[in-house]
Structure 1
Amino acid sequence: MTATASSAPTRRVVLITATEPEPRSFGKQVVLGGLLDHLCARLGPDQVHVILVGRTGIDRPAVPYRLHVIAKPSSVEQLTAVARRVIGPPHSSLQEAALWSGRTLAAIAQKLTEIRPDQQIWDTMRTGQYARRLGRKPRVLYADDLFSKRYASMLERIDRDPSTISDPLGEFGKLLPGAVGRVVGRKGVYRRLLQLERVLTARSEELAPAEFDATYLVNSQEAAELHERTGDPTIGTLLPLLREPAARERRWDGRPTFVFLGGLDFAPNRDGLTWFLGAFRDEVLAAIPDFRLLVVGRGSTNLPAEAAAWGEHVRALGWVDDLDEVLGSCTALLSPLRVGSGTKIKVLEALARGLPVVATRAGVLGLPVGRADGCLVASSPAELPDLLQQAADPAANPALAAAARGSWERHFSPAVVGPTYDAAFGLRPAREPVPR
């Protein structure tokens, strides 16, 4: 039975986003899904509305909350906005300009008038840019992470090795018209584009908090950095709120089967996997001759060319519906990321299932975890093969798994993170536990 805040006064909340909230096939959707689950549990699904700026006329999964779809800007509107709003006032970032149109502004305003929410939650600056044109209402910015830091880390990686980053624009690139996306996807173009976007995004990040009652990021270090840059006291942290996985016994058979979790259409994921496969084959197979790596996520069937040298040691599973089934049978999660920002959802997914983690520092970004949390974090790349061997040790792995699950329960479970969402959004806790 789903808990509701029956004793609380009726409140209506709206989330405005440009990210399809379902299906939850990558980290951003998981984060939004956790927020929406919690709002529905606390307020009741009928009191939770989502305004989605996206494609119209397509089938979408059924959802418990009320979904309102507004057509995203057309290609002509996007090109016009980029030309006018980046070069001229308000000198917005490219990702903001690519989502801007007067028609979209009017449609959002009309929907907000119809819904009459008590609170507005604006998802990232892309949609948050509209808020300042709609009058001051109770509203918060769910800023996700500092995109300027992500772009800076990508630029640093490109300067070191231009061949390792493909499709660096990620979800932002999908907002662009097809022809424009193909042009800016060229390596000779996207480096300059990332340089410009890093500067423009940093400016938007610093201006945005003044327009909202509160601004939340998923990474406490990034929240502290933005506070230092702006001096704004309303900047805070909200860790991702993941569902409690189904209660299942771990079924690891002792074989060294690791899992890489994450869509390979996301540049930091592809870069990390490509680097690992290209740099560590001899060392890993010498230490663990029967090593296996399962690659799970969107686009994972399109493995990097470096996977060929590993033969049967690397296997792509593609998208899987049941993470419990896969993660519950593996030795550990491998997270060899080198770039990025925010908080690594994949690590939380592992900890929730009592799965140890072997990672680089960037691979556990945003999470203060170490061996006591079941996470073996390499202080240098050369340590990765040894840490994989440690995780595969049948004598050591059960203790690491217990530490991982314990860390989840102490720091990241719905019982711990849920109350921070209650405080952030003025929600009254339910009388009975919220099922996950």
Structure 2
Amino acid sequence: MCGSAASRSSWTISTPPWSAPYERRPVAGRGEPRRILLLAVRDITGVRTGRIVVLESAVRGLQRHGHHVDVVAITHEDGPTSWLGCDVHRIRPPRLGSLAALVPCALLRGRCLNEALFSGRALTQQVREIARELKSDVVVGDGLRAWDAARAAGLPTVMHLDDLLSERYSSATFRDNNDSILGYFGERVPRLTRPGAEALARALLGVEAELARRRENLIAREARVVALTSREEAKRLSLRTGRDVLGIPMAVEQGTLCAPEQAAAGTLTFLGVLHYGPNIAALRFVRDELVPELDKRGRTVRIRVIGKASREQIQEFAGGPFEILGYVDDLPAEMSKSRMLLSPIQAGTGVKTKVLDALSIGLPVVATPMGVAGIPLRDGVSALIADTASGLADAIEDLMDHPERARDIGRAGYEVLGTSMAPDQIYNAWGAAVEQAVSEESRAH
């Protein structure tokens, strides 16, 4: 782990610990209890990221509707065999050395490079056997990478694609500002060969965007149910394919209201892992454009950065107004020390869990439009939104000078989280998705 914290906790700690099963409360009108196989292409019990919060929401929603959930985690990591009251079955993805053969085969079959990392007959056969052994009724697939393995189970499938990889990879911000284009996969590449792998991946990013687009379209047409985290992206995929696509974001529970009006006026929180291109680009925008704008106005700020950062990134932002905290043990407590959350994202996809985490404690949000995409916040009412450094500086000054306004905007955002994005709505959407998948399968046969 990087940063000053030594916890396995992530920056998205807004729900009970991963070891706690969800309380199974009865839901009126729910369908027949079913056995669900959640197919995850990650270490589901590891450090909690925004994507894992989405999958937690799926499990909690399905459990609440009386379904039994088993998890298959395709990961190189060892770990607990239980998560949220579910049994966890671990499958190893292909070894690094075997990818030289798997990647060309996957490309010849029309797959994208992301899928090649989780391809191979042995892997799909293991998923099929586990589904048969567990007598699973429905498969829930974790992103585009899980499609081939999910389909191999031969069961009704709900595919939650998270965000549109095709749009993310088409972004110049993602391409030019991402310090690690390989993401978590880069940690598996030997250090000496990593620069070459990074350069090759960057050169192929445009090709991968087009391949991902084709695969997203195919999955939307072939899976029984397809969902994305962002409702806006769901609409775009629906228009591309002529199929209904659901928008099911992550569920973040309301916590205890903080008191931003009592925090130091110039203390801001920036939340996000810095190996992800849009996050590091946003922090550089803060350093190169926003902070100089505030300096010109005689405003001094302190920016507390929570999230994974490499040694090089820590050195890059050393000095000045930045305090790199890394992961923290108690996210709400750390965020409560600030007057506001800053989310100056310039490009990206999906819904920003960092914003929901701020709303969950009533911390006011200052953001670009992209920083709050997919969240029904109103500028000047439940958040302050601007698309330039000057506009963001105006918003920061406003909350610095008017602590009661920071309190009111924070509480308005808290109310949005509890109504428009209430966890009950998201849990019910997962229950409905499973019933729709089963119904679609019955009609198809």
**Matching of residue 336 in structure 1 with residue 344 in structure 2:** yes
**Larger CA deviation: 338-347 vs 287-296:** 287-296
3-state SS of the aligned residue for 1:396?
Answer: helix
The C-alpha deviation readout for 1:290-310, integer Å capped at 9, x for no partner, is 411110012277545553351
Contact 2:159 2:223 in 1 (8 A): yes
Are residues 54 and 180 of structure 1, via their aligned partners in 2, closer, same or farther at CA, if it must alter by over 3 Å? farther
How do 1:139-154 and structure 2 match up within 5 A? 139-153=157-171
- Partner amino acid for 1:105? T
Q: CA deviation at 1:371?
A: 2.3
3-state SS of the aligned residue for 2:432?
Answer: helix
- Partner amino acid for 2:125? A
**Matching of residue 19 in structure 1 with residue 28 in structure 2:** no
Contact 2:226 2:246 in 1 (8 A): yes
Distance 1:244 1:203 in 2: 38
Are residues 404 and 377 of structure 1, via their aligned partners in 2, closer, same or farther at CA, if it must alter by over 3 Å? same
Are residues 34 and 96 of structure 1, via their aligned partners in 2, closer, same or farther at CA, if it must alter by over 3 Å? same
Are residues 6 and 379 of structure 1, via their aligned partners in 2, closer, same or farther at CA, if it must alter by over 3 Å? closer
**Matching of residue 242 in structure 1 with residue 252 in structure 2:** yes
Distance 1:109 1:176 in 2: 29
Contact 1:252 1:328 in 2 (8 A): no
Match for residue 294 of structure 1 among 297, 300, 304: 304
**Larger CA deviation: 24-33 vs 92-101:** 24-33
How do 1:339-418 and structure 2 match up within 5 A? 339-371=347-379, 373-393=381-401, 394-418=403-427
Are residues 209 and 334 of structure 1, via their aligned partners in 2, closer, same or farther at CA, if it must alter by over 3 Å? same
Q: CA deviation at 1:348?
A: 1.0
- Partner amino acid for 1:170? G
How do 1:103-114 and structure 2 match up within 5 A? 103-114=122-133
Contact 1:132 1:211 in 2 (8 A): no
Are residues 390 and 6 of structure 1, via their aligned partners in 2, closer, same or farther at CA, if it must alter by over 3 Å? closer
Contact 1:301 1:317 in 2 (8 A): no
The C-alpha deviation readout for 1:67-92, integer Å capped at 9, x for no partner, is 00011111233221102221x1x221
Contact 2:33 2:66 in 1 (8 A): yes
**Matching of residue 226 in structure 1 with residue 226 in structure 2:** no
Q: CA deviation at 1:101?
A: 1.3
Match for residue 433 of structure 2 among 421, 424, 429: 424
- Partner amino acid for 2:98? E
1:79 corresponds in structure 2 to 100
Contact 2:128 2:152 in 1 (8 A): no
Are residues 156 and 134 of structure 1, via their aligned partners in 2, closer, same or farther at CA, if it must alter by over 3 Å? same
The C-alpha deviation readout for 1:196-223, integer Å capped at 9, x for no partner, is 1101111111111232111001111211
3-state SS of the aligned residue for 1:368?
Answer: coil
Match for residue 205 of structure 1 among 207, 216, 235: 216
Distance 1:300 1:359 in 2: 25
**Larger CA deviation: 7-16 vs 352-361:** 7-16
Distance 1:325 1:384 in 2: 25
Q: CA deviation at 1:143?
A: 1.0
Count, aligned residues = 410
Distance 2:210 2:398 in 1: 42
Q: CA deviation at 1:145?
A: 0.9
Match for residue 285 of structure 2 among 275, 278, 282: 275
How do 1:126-205 and structure 2 match up within 5 A? 126-135=145-154, 137-153=155-171, 155=172, 158=175, 162=176, 164-171=177-184, 173=186, 181-186=194-199, 189-205=200-216
The C-alpha deviation readout for 1:129-181, integer Å capped at 9, x for no partner, is 2233443x22111111100100111x3665xxx4x331133245457677765
Distance 1:300 1:407 in 2: 34
1:433 corresponds in structure 2 to none
Distance 2:61 2:239 in 1: 30
Q: CA deviation at 1:373?
A: 4.9
Q: CA deviation at 1:185?
A: 1.3
**Larger CA deviation: 90-99 vs 22-31:** 22-31
Are residues 172 and 375 of structure 1, via their aligned partners in 2, closer, same or farther at CA, if it must alter by over 3 Å? farther
Contact 2:173 2:281 in 1 (8 A): no
3-state SS of the aligned residue for 1:216?
Answer: strand
**Matching of residue 92 in structure 1 with residue 100 in structure 2:** no
Contact 2:258 2:361 in 1 (8 A): no
Are residues 55 and 100 of structure 1, via their aligned partners in 2, closer, same or farther at CA, if it must alter by over 3 Å? same
Q: CA deviation at 1:269?
A: 0.9
Contact 2:258 2:363 in 1 (8 A): no
Distance 2:302 2:52 in 1: 28
3-state SS of the aligned residue for 2:318?
Answer: helix
Q: CA deviation at 1:364?
A: 1.4
Q: CA deviation at 1:16?
A: 0.4
Are residues 127 and 28 of structure 1, via their aligned partners in 2, closer, same or farther at CA, if it must alter by over 3 Å? same
Distance 1:114 1:229 in 2: 37
Are residues 54 and 150 of structure 1, via their aligned partners in 2, closer, same or farther at CA, if it must alter by over 3 Å? same
Distance 1:168 1:98 in 2: 15
Are residues 298 and 322 of structure 1, via their aligned partners in 2, closer, same or farther at CA, if it must alter by over 3 Å? same
Q: CA deviation at 1:372?
A: 5.2
Are residues 180 and 129 of structure 1, via their aligned partners in 2, closer, same or farther at CA, if it must alter by over 3 Å? farther
Distance 1:389 1:110 in 2: 59
- Partner amino acid for 1:96? E
3-state SS of the aligned residue for 1:371?
Answer: coil
Contact 1:79 1:98 in 2 (8 A): no
Distance 1:181 1:111 in 2: 34
- Partner amino acid for 2:182? L
- Partner amino acid for 2:135? R
RMSD: 2.5
1:115 corresponds in structure 2 to 134
Distance 2:33 2:226 in 1: 24
Q: CA deviation at 1:249?
A: 4.5
3-state SS of the aligned residue for 2:215?
Answer: helix
Distance 1:20 1:379 in 2: 36
Contact 2:164 2:349 in 1 (8 A): yes
**Matching of residue 253 in structure 1 with residue 300 in structure 2:** no
